[in-house]
Amino acid sequence: MSVAAQPLFALDNSYVRELDGLYEAWQAAPAPAARLLVLNEELAAELGVDADALAAPDGVAVLAGNDTPEGTTPVAQAYAGHQFGGYSPRLGDGRALLLGEVLDVHGRRRDLHLKGSGRTPFARGGDGKAAVGPMLREYVIGEAMHALGIPTTRALAVVATGEGVARETLLPGAVLSRVAASHLRVGTFEYAARRDDPALVRRLADYAIARHHPGASEAEDPYLALLEGVVDVQASLVARWMLVGFIHGVMNTDNMTISGETIDYGPCAFMEAFDPATVFSSIDHGGRYAYGNQPPIAQWNLARLAETLLPLIDADTDTAVAAATDVLGSFPDRFHRYWSHGMRAKLGMTHDREEDGALIDDLLALLRAQRVDYTSGFRALSSALLGDAARARSLFAEPSAFDAWAERWRARLSSEGDLKTVAEAMDRVNPAYIARNHRVEEALAAATGDDLEPFNRLLQVLVRPFDERPGLEAYAAPAPPDFGEYRTFCGT
């Protein structure tokens, strides 16, 4: 008796069915010698896919773009975008394809997408390829973010293609498979809105509402409610970035999702010494996407989304603008609510008190003035609360300033109940481990030379960021001074 092979993925194509005009059907370029480098077994299980089958040759062929699952239509998605403030009318997936959508074990629709799978009609001057290092970077930072509880796209796998990719030097090529709530971007709306086809923006907005903000369909004005939904998830997302010191690095409107997930791990990195002006990206000369600018930039991007929705919000432009402006204007308050709630948790404060704002601001001012490592600084607070201040004090060049602050803070916490319980709760929100730049670089350099051991070790550390483990001190420490000033690159 023969058993029919189970298809790896049962892929749906709602995007293709419903959004004609926003994609080009396309096939991946073949990978000459596909080899699996890393597979996300936990995510595979969530998708209801057998990890062993994915790791077998037939599975790797799909993850490399060499084989297309039966019944699916891969497409390159069209989008536009404001990049560093300037408008590019036609970006789109230049080196990526949407394979289709998987309904995961929770019944959620998730995009399965390949990145680095060859040139598409949107490739412009690019080669359509990706290198092992940057794709593993997206994998590990995405997993670190997920483990920190931050909404994010995630990598399912990275496959080496066996092909060289010409960058500054010849690098080993790779394809990343990415899972996302969807790949709808602010830039998707910008593209649709300039097509001269009002029905297209409406179709896109209806699709986005059904997929991400279903409550909006019940609202008096569904499109205004969609805008409000996106404003809210982005306010929450950027607050979460700020709370862990994450700098996205290239917050162009094509890199901002409608779902509220973090997307496109290019020049991103975690800040070490606390300084709102921190920038890592080598092309961000003006500091547009500096750590401290992320909230206003998010709001600026959301204004670009709002513009595309105006004709749907009201036939009268003045009425539409007034309504959209109101919603956009709620961003700073929403952001601040999410952020201060998170900050209070980092400081062990569960209920809201008048003096909390000053305690938070004063601590941040101290961290900044003394260039204290943001992650270590917050992590050390739980010990300080339980009477061992040495760890925190050692991070300050002038610990007396910290002592004075800590005295006020301890007095404030006396109303929070059992301090051991408070300290434990703090350790669940202040990570011991973040993706340290020198550790990431070390792991990627080794992986580019075919040694995946440092990468896998780093991944094991980062998937349990709150669980401090003996022997891993070197992963918790900031970069040594000889690592120098960190620079990241977009040309991935």
Distance CA 24, CA 291 (A): 36
Q: Is 301 in the site for Mg ion (CB under 5 A)?
A: no
Q: How far is the CB of 146 from ligand AMP (least distance, A)?
A: 20
> 252 vs 308, which CB is nearer to Mg ion?
252
> 113 vs 344, which CB is nearer to ligand AMP?
113
Q: Is 152 in the site for Mg ion (CB under 5 A)?
A: no
Interaction residues for Mg ion, span 77-136 (CB under 5 A): none
* DSSP symbols for 42-56: HHHHHHT--HHHHHS
Q: How far is the CB of 79 from ligand AMP (least distance, A)?
A: 7
User: Which of the listed partners (Mg ion, ligand AMP, none) does 93 bind, with a CB threshold of 5 to 8 Å by partner kind?
Assistant: ligand AMP
> 101 vs 264, which CB is nearer to Mg ion?
264
Q: How far is the CB of 184 from Mg ion (least distance, A)?
A: 13
Tokens for 274?
């606390």
Q: Which stretch binds Mg ion (CB under 5 A): 12-20, 255-263, 338-346, 412-420?
A: 255-263
Distance CA 270, CA 248 (A): 9
Q: How far is the CB of 247 from ligand AMP (least distance, A)?
A: 15
> 21 vs 126, which CB is nearer to ligand AMP?
126
> 93 vs 284, which CB is nearer to ligand AMP?
93
* 327, 299 Cβ separation under 8 angstroms: no
Tokens for 309?
């929705």
Q: Which stretch binds Mg ion (CB under 5 A): 256-264, 329-337, 447-455, 483-491?
A: 256-264
Q: Among residues 254, 284, 373, 427, which one is catalytic?
A: 254
Distance CA 79, CA 93 (A): 8
Number of residues interacting with Mg ion: please give it, by CB under 5 A.
2
Q: Is 255 in the site for Mg ion (CB under 5 A)?
A: yes
* 134, 492 Cβ separation under 8 angstroms: yes
Asked if 388 is an active-site residue, the reply is: no
Distance CA 392, CA 477 (A): 13
* 164, 174 Cβ separation under 8 angstroms: no
Burial 238-273 (b: 16+ CB within 10 A, else e): bbbbbbbbbbbbbbbbbbbbbbbbbbbbbbbbbbbb
| Contacting positions for ligand AMP (CB under 6 A) | 91-96, 122-123, 126-129, 255, 264, 266, 490
Q: Which stretch binds Mg ion (CB under 5 A): 152-160, 204-212, 251-259, 480-488?
A: 251-259
Q: Which of helix, strand or coil describes residue 103?
A: strand
* 279, 188 Cβ separation under 8 angstroms: no
> 178 vs 240, which CB is nearer to Mg ion?
178
Closest of 377, 363, 366 to residue 409, by C-alpha: 363
Q: How far is the CB of 29 from ligand AMP (least distance, A)?
A: 11
Distance CA 234, CA 253 (A): 12
Q: Which residues are catalytic?
A: 254
Q: Which parts of this chain interact with Mg ion (CB under 5 A)?
A: 255, 264
